[in-house]
């Protein structure tokens, strides 16, 4: 698959994800990384350009996020074409000797009219006066040496160096309220000589070709037509991958699903329906509930639980590889999983994902490894899968095991979170809010506290309800339920004899991850 053309450095603006989405709409692949992860990523990747996002920091804050050291803008031959947006522009200007201030008179929040230098390639084909969306307290009041202003409103709204190599925009081109924002970003992509590389059809072909090539080589080596194992969960990633591989592998595609004991209510039935709609004929379901529970209940540490899950998962797949004489195994692992499990070279380990870096005896292929969830949803649409699949919210492989926190996993507690998850999901559906939520997490917190039920003291558990909104799960915003939904969820969940409290968790990611473990 092609290299990623644009690196977006996320300084924490609420609009960063939108930059990525607009670029995809313009047909160009990008990756969003926090500043800390940029140097390592750039050591093994060569994007055509870099965009610095906005932020709620001021460059004058003591803990203001800095430019990664690989973006040494003091070096004349800085090899990257850079566009700073809002804080990104202020940071560039400040680092190069310009002045950034918080003037009392010309703070801009909301719509603003700017006058553009339409001779500059960034503003090519755009009317001289246009409405933009601004949201900044700080402003660049004097430019670094060698820079000139190319847009103005009540102050400097955009800047460029002589070579059009480092540019900055004070307003937000990624927001729809900036009328010509998409055109500005397209102009930037043209300046960076980006080519359209985000086409669902091309991606589908390239995945099919990658798998076909490995299969042909293996078949040539051994003289025997080979089988391929695909781990399926019924989720959007593995179901989409199955639908892409069925036309290439046909009956040689062996789909294996594991009943881990950590599935949600009705999930196994849903899995069968989804995998069937992907055209799969060979689906084998392995019941390994006892083995998973026995091993995971040994510990309450989040990482150790993931480790135990992974060991059992690996053992089962090794057994299946032998049983079906498979020459390689394919998994629907995404870029997010690989980055967060610290296997992407650029990232620290956040949590061990159950299916990344397993070192099977046979080759382990992850054809979706460069894609994000929203991109896989596009592939699913192109494969004509039902909307129940491409709109499906994700659920982690280790499932409900990750949602029993601080207390050992047991059959009874698994059943408690399973029913609690169903209760909350049903209420959300009843209020028709499920489309506003990217993922729902209902977790049992193993901290006992006092409650009163039927005039009696109860010393029981708490449940945490967490819903998030996100495009790519690298960052997420906590979702605020309406009061009546909060009340209905709380009432329904505390009906259980052992539950005395319900917490609602709106912490964004970062700092909190989506799951509790």
- The residue ranges that bind ligand XMP (CB under 6 A) are 336-337, 340, 350-351, 353-354, 394, 396-398, 439, 473, 509, 513-515
Residue 311 tokens, joined: 């060991």
User: Least Å distance between CB 285 and ligand XMP?
Assistant: 18
CA distances, 437 to each of 17, 252, 428, 467, 509 (Å): 16, 37, 9, 6, 14
User: Least Å distance between CB 21 and ligand XMP?
Assistant: 18
- Cβ closer to ligand XMP: 118 or 513? 513
Residue 294 has φ and ψ, to the nearest 5°, of: -55, -45
User: Least Å distance between CB 514 and ligand XMP?
Assistant: 3
User: Least Å distance between CB 470 and ligand XMP?
Assistant: 8
Q: Is 134 left (phi over 0), alpha (psi -120 to 50) or beta?
A: beta
- Cβ closer to ligand XMP: 67 or 356? 356
User: Which sign, positive or negative, has the C-alpha torsion 51, 57, 61, 62?
Assistant: negative
- Cβ closer to ligand XMP: 13 or 341? 341
Pair 302, 517: CB distance under 8 Å: yes
Question: d(Cα 31, Cα 50) in Å, to the nearest integer?
Answer: 10
Question: d(Cα 252, Cα 54) in Å, to the nearest integer?
Answer: 49
Q: If we measure between CA atoms, which residue out of 98, 84, 85 comes closest to residue 166?
A: 84
User: Least Å distance between CB 509 and ligand XMP?
Assistant: 5
Full DSSP string of 250-293: GGGEEEEEEE-S-PPTTHHHHHHHHHHHTT---EEEEE-HHHHH
The catalytically annotated residue of 174, 375, 488, 517 is 174
- Cβ closer to ligand XMP: 232 or 463? 232
- Known catalytic residue at 172: yes
Question: d(Cα 244, Cα 516) in Å, to the nearest integer?
Answer: 32
**Please, what is the end-to-end C-alpha distance for the chain in angstroms?**
32
- Known catalytic residue at 366: no
Residue 212 tokens, joined: 């076909």
Question: d(Cα 428, Cα 437) in Å, to the nearest integer?
Answer: 9
The catalytically annotated residue of 108, 120, 136, 172 is 172
User: Least Å distance between CB 20 and ligand XMP?
Assistant: 16
User: Least Å distance between CB 235 and ligand XMP?
Assistant: 8
Q: If we measure between CA atoms, which residue out of 41, 421, 111, 377 comes closest to residue 265?
A: 421
User: Least Å distance between CB 10 and ligand XMP?
Assistant: 15
- Cβ closer to ligand XMP: 328 or 516? 516
- Cβ closer to ligand XMP: 81 or 330? 330
DSSP letter at 7 equals E
- Cβ closer to ligand XMP: 252 or 353? 353
- Cβ closer to ligand XMP: 17 or 59? 17
Residue 283 has φ and ψ, to the nearest 5°, of: -120, 125
* Residue in the block written with tokens 């692992």: 333
* Residue in the block written with tokens 């039902």: 386
Full DSSP string of 347-388: --BSS--TTSS---SSEEE-TTTT--HHHHHHHHHHTT--HH
* Residue in the block written with tokens 């989720």: 235
* Residue in the block written with tokens 């639908």: 243
User: Least Å distance between CB 17 and ligand XMP?
Assistant: 14
- Cβ closer to ligand XMP: 227 or 514? 514
Q: If we measure between CA atoms, which residue out of 502, 227, 503 comes closest to residue 363?
A: 227
- Known catalytic residue at 515: no
Q: If we measure between CA atoms, which residue out of 393, 391, 353 comes closest to residue 267?
A: 393
Q: If we measure between CA atoms, which residue out of 177, 159, 22 comes closest to residue 83?
A: 159
Catalytic residues: 86, 172, 174
């Amino acid at each position: 698959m092609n290299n990623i053309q644009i690196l977006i450095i996320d300084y924490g603006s609420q609009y960063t994800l939108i930059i990525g989405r607009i670029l995809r709409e313009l047909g160009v692949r990008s990756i969003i990384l926090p500043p800390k992860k940029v140097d390592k990523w750039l050591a093994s990747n060569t994007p055509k350009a870099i965009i610095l996002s906005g932020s709620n920091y001021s460059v004058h804050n003591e803990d203001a996020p800095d430019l990664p050291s690989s973006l040494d803008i003091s070096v004349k031959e800085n090899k990257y074409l850079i566009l700073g947006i809002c804080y990104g522009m202020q940071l560039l200007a400040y680092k190069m000797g310009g002045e950034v201030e918080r003037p009392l008179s010309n703070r801009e929040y909301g719509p603003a009219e700017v006058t553009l230098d339409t001779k500059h390639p960034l503003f090519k084909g755009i009317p001289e006066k246009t409405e933009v969306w601004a949201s900044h307290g700080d402003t660049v009041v004097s430019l670094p040496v060698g820079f000139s202003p190319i847009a103005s409103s009540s102050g400097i709204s955009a800047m460029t160096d002589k070579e059009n190599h480092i540019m900055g925009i004070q307003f937000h081109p990624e927001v729809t309220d900036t009328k010509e924002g998409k055109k500005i970003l397209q102009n930037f992509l043209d300046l960076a000589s980006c080519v359209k590389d985000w086409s669902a059809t091309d991606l589908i072909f390239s995945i099919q070709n990658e798998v076909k090539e490995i299969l042909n080589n293996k078949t040539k080596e051994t003289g025997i037509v080979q089988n391929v194992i695909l781990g399926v969960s019924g989720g959007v990633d593995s179901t989409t991958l199955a639908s892409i591989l069925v036309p290439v592998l046909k009956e040689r595609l062996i789909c294996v699903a594991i009943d881990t004991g950590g599935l949600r209510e009705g999930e196994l039935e849903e899995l069968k329906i989804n995998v069937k709609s992907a055209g799969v004929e060979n689906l084998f379901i392995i019941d390994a509930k006892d083995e998973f529970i026995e091993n995971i209940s040994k510990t309450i540490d989040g990482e150790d639980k993931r480790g135990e899950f992974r060991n059992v998962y690996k053992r089962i797949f090794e057994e299946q590889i032998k049983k079906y004489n498979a020459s390689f195994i394919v998994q629907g692992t995404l870029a997010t999983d690989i980055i967060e499990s610290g296997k992407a070279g650029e990232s620290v380990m956040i949590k061990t994902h159950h299916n990344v870096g397993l070192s099977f005896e046979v080759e382990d292929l992850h054809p979706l490894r460069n894609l994000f969830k929203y991109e896989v949803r596009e592939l699913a649409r192109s494969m004509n899968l039902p909307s129940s699949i491409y709109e499906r919210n994700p659920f982690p492989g280790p499932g409900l095991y990750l949602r029993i926190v601080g207390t050992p996993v047991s059959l009874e507690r698994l059943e408690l979170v399973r029913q609690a998850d169903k209760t909350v999901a049903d209420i959300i559906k009843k209020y028709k809010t499920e489309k506003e939520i990217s993922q729902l997490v209902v977790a049992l917190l193993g901290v006992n506290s006092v409650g009163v039920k039927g005039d009696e003291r109860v010393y029981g558990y708490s449940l945490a309800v967490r819903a998030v909104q996100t495009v790519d799960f690298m960052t997420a915003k906590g979702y605020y339920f309406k009061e009546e939904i909060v009340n209905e969820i709380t009432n329904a969940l505390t009906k259980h004899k052992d539950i005395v409290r319900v917490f609602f968790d709106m912490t964004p990611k970062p700092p909190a991850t989506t799951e509790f473990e």
